[in-house]
Each structure stands twice: as C-alpha cells, then as structure tokens.
Amino acid sequence: MAQAAIDVRAGELRQLVNRKYRFIDRKWDFMFWFTAAFVVAAAADITRLLFAGDWDFWTDWKDRQWWMTITPFATIIIPSALQYIQWRAWRMPTGATYTATCLFVAAWIGRTFQWHFFVNYPMNFIWPATWIPAGILIDFLLLETRSFIITSVIGAGIWTIAFWASNYIMLAPFLQPTTFIGHTLTVADVQGITYIRAQTPEYLRVIERGSLRTFLQEPQYVALAFGTTVAVGGYWIGQFIGRYLSVWPIGRFLKQI
C-alpha cells in the first residue's frame, strides 16, 4: 500500500518534470545557460586572479609547491557554489564542469586577445590551466554520492590531484633543462627571463626555492596534501556562497512576492 503511494507520487513528479512550459518558450533554458556563463566565468576568473593570479599566468610561476597548493583552493570556491545551486535546483551534477568550461573559454579569450595580440606575449608562456577534468570528476562524485560532505572531502583531493596531473602534461615540456646566460635553467625560467615583464621582476615569483618541508626530498607530496586540505576549506566557502548568499536570499525573495 505504502509502495503504491510512493509510486503514484513518483509518477506525479515525473509528469511535472516533463510538463510543457506554459508562458515562456523552451529557448529560455538555452538563454539561461548562455547568459549565466558570462557571470560564472567572471566570478571564477576574479576568484582565481584574486588568490592565484600570477601562478596561473606564467609558465615560470607554475611550480610544484605553491601553484598546486594555492590554485586548487582558489579555483574550487565557485565550482562548489555552482554545484550546490545546480544540484539543489535541478539535480544536475554540472556546477564544477560548467564553471570550468566557462572559465576555460573566458581565460583563452582573455589570454589570446589581451596578452598575446595586444602586448605580444607568446601563448606558450601565458596559457591558462584547465580545470575541466577536475570538474568532471567531482561532478561525477556528487552524482554518485549525492553528498556534499563526501564530495568536499574526497572531491577536494580529486580536484587537487586532477588539476595537477592534467596541467602537468602541458607543463612538462617547459620543465626541460637548458643552458641560458651561463646557468642551467628550465625552458619556463628562460621564458620568464626572455619575455620581459617590466613590472613583474623575477624575485616576485613565489615558487619552490628549497625547503625543509619536503617528503623524500620532494615537496610536491606535501604540497598535494596541503593543497587538498585547503581545497576542502575552499569547497565549504563555496558551499556557503551557494547556500546563504545565493539560494537562501532568492528563496526568501520569491516567498515575499
């Protein structure tokens, strides 16, 4: 008897899902996703630039200690907020991938026009990192677990590792050694010296300069662990934005009208 009631209820909801729009066109859905892309890309880009600007900008800043510690934290905030909003509203596990994809397009347009065409830096020096693989994987995790707590704890680790692994593939050729001005440097270092950044002197780079805080003399393991930990914090900052700065005020407003 109880099962029958549940089935009826599910059937009603199913009908509601597929009900045709009455007052607006279905193009609304496309327009929504399209116009929101600008806002999401801007929010993600601002957050990234605010916390991890130069690390994600130049190859000679993309190091194995600070880049992978700071950037996952900075870049998980908006995906997390969008994950909550889109899951809460539509049960779509798309927040992280949507943010990463919007940011991808915005970042490539920005780098190409502002930095390559206008001030002439080569693209192989200023390419933006990609978060799309990391976004897909944590969206998939949310889909399968339907839990923001599990997604925050395990997903932050996946986000950090996937970010590092996917971008390291592109960074690898720039970490090959060469001799330049009488010193052994990486290709990335050479780019940083060769392509003059008048207001970004080399000493400003916050990169690995040797530390006691290593594991088996390799700082990236410590950085991965720490990056994951701070990314959990970043995830919950995003959840706060999604829950209390977006969904809750909108809900309150709708109740008032």
Partner 1 sequence: MKMKRRFALSLLGSAMALAGIAFGSTTASAHGERAQESFIRMETVGFWDTQFSKTTVQQGEDITLTGTIKILETWPNNLSNGNPSVCYFTVVEPGAQFVLKDRVINGLQAPQSVFCHKGGTYQYSMTLAGRAAGSWHVHPAVAVEQSGTIIGPGTWITVNQAASGFSYPITLLNGQKIDLESYGTPLVVGFSLLTFVLGMWWMIHWTWSRPTITRLAVTNQLPLNQDGGDAVGLVTRRDHRISATIAGVTVVLVGAGFLWQAFAFPGKIPQQSDWVTPPALAQPASTATATLTNAIWDPAKQIMTLTAEVKNTGTTPVTLTAFRTAYLTFVSPTARQPESGEYQMTVSPAGTVDAGQTSTFTIQLPGSVLQQEELVSVGKAQMAVAGIIELNDAAGTRNMATVQSSLNPTAT
- Nearest to partner 1 of 53, 113 (CB atom): 113
Residues of this chain, 90-149, that bind partner 1 according to CB under 8 A: 90-94, 97-98, 100-101, 104-105, 108, 113, 118-124, 127-128, 130, 132-133, 135-137, 139-140, 143-144, 146-148
To partner 1, the closest distance from the beta carbon of 138 in angstroms equals 10
Whole-number Cα distances in Å, 75 to 7, 23, 99, 238: 41, 38, 9, 10
Cα angle for residues 151, 156, 159 (degrees, 5° grid) = 110
Q: Which among 99, 92, 94, 95 has a CA at the least distance from the CA of 17?
A: 92
Tokens of 114: 């502002």
**How many chain residues bind partner 1 (CB under 8 A)?**
100
Sequence-distant (6+) residues with CB within 8 A of 3 are none
Choices 40-48, 75-83, 183-191, 229-237 (CB under 8 A): range interacting with partner 1: 183-191
> Measured from the CB of residue 40, what is the shortest distance to partner 1 in angstroms?
12
The only residue of 40, 44, 56, 64 in contact with partner 1, by rule CB under 8 A = 64
Residue 94 structure tokens: 């798309």
Question: Does residue number 38 form part of the binding site for partner 1 (CB under 8 A)?
Answer: no
Nearest approach, Cβ of residue 220 and partner 1 (Å)? 9
151 binds partner 1 (CB under 8 A): no
Residue span binding partner 1 (CB under 8 A) among the ranges 40-48, 49-57, 69-77, 181-189: 181-189
- Helix, strand, or coil here: 146? coil
Integer-rounded Cα Rg, in Å, for the chain is 22
- Confirm if 134 and 179 have CB atoms less than 8 A apart: no
3-state SS, residue 215: strand
Nearer to partner 1, 61 or 226 (CB): 61
* CA angle 204–209–211, rounded 5-degree value: 135
Q: Which of 1, 5, 26, 216 binds partner 1 (CB under 8 A)?
A: 26
Q: Which is nearer to partner 1, 47 or 186 (CB)?
A: 186
Q: Note whether 169 binds partner 1 by CB under 8 A.
A: yes
**Nearest distance, CB of residue 120 and partner 1, angstroms:** 5
